[in-house]
Structure 1
Amino acid sequence: MAELLNDERIDEALVNLSDWQRKGDALERTAQLADFPQAIQVVNRVAEIAESENHHPDIDIRWRNLTFRLSTHSDGGITQKDVTLAGEIDEVINSV
């Protein structure tokens, strides 16, 4: 089990994750890509990372718009796993 982050630690993490917002017990980000194939490319790269870490985001795909939602469901909220994956998702999005 991972330790849930308190409000202060979540706020500190969001300073470095400027495209992310806290939505209840999750971190959320929406990204608009150039087109649908590029959006799917991002999803595929994020899927590889998530699978290797055994920590999977909720992903909503709407044409070229992707919304990622991160929460450690087994622990009931936001953990360091979510913060780490959010940073990795940012790297993927910024690389395309």
Structure 2
Amino acid sequence: MKKLNSQEIAVKLQDFPNWNFLNNGIEKHFIFDNFVKTMKVINAIAEVAEAQNHHPEWSNVYNKIHIRLTTHDCDGVSEKDFELAEAIEKIIVKHF
């Protein structure tokens, strides 16, 4: 898996509003109406992540999720991270 450089990441992030490049990963915070909706999002993302065999680093407190994507195999951001970020955005738009 090829590690993307900072210029490549910056160009790709233009298509991902509110995602930020920090510490060799891309990150975003999400806020939902309540805990139940938040857990539905987490479960939907978990299914996609498992299918892609690419798992996020994340945390959850009540109605908030912090998601961080990085590719450990290349010690940085790769296309896999943007593929999962795109899937996450589609889940949120479609279901929530």
Please indicate the TM-score interval, normalised by the length of the shorter structure. over 0.9
Match of 1:83 in 2: 82
Match of 2:12 in 1: 13
Question: Letter of the aligned partner of 2:35 in structure 1?
Answer: F
The Cα shift of 1:74 comes to 1.8
Match of 1:3 in 2: 2
How many angstroms apart in 2 are the aligned matches of 1:71 and 1:91? 19
TM-score by length of 1: 0.95
How many angstroms apart in 2 are the aligned matches of 1:93 and 1:67? 14
TM-score by length of 2: 0.95
CA deviations 1:20-52 (Å, max 9, x no partner) are: 001110000000011000000000000000000
Percent identity over the alignment? 29
How many angstroms apart in 1 are the aligned matches of 2:9 and 2:50? 24
Instruction: Report how many residues are paired.
Output: 95
Match of 1:30 in 2: 29
**Superposition map of 1:54-69 within 5 A:** 54-69=53-68
- Unpaired segments of 5 or more residues in structure 1? none
Structure 1 segments (4+ residues) deviating >2 Å: none
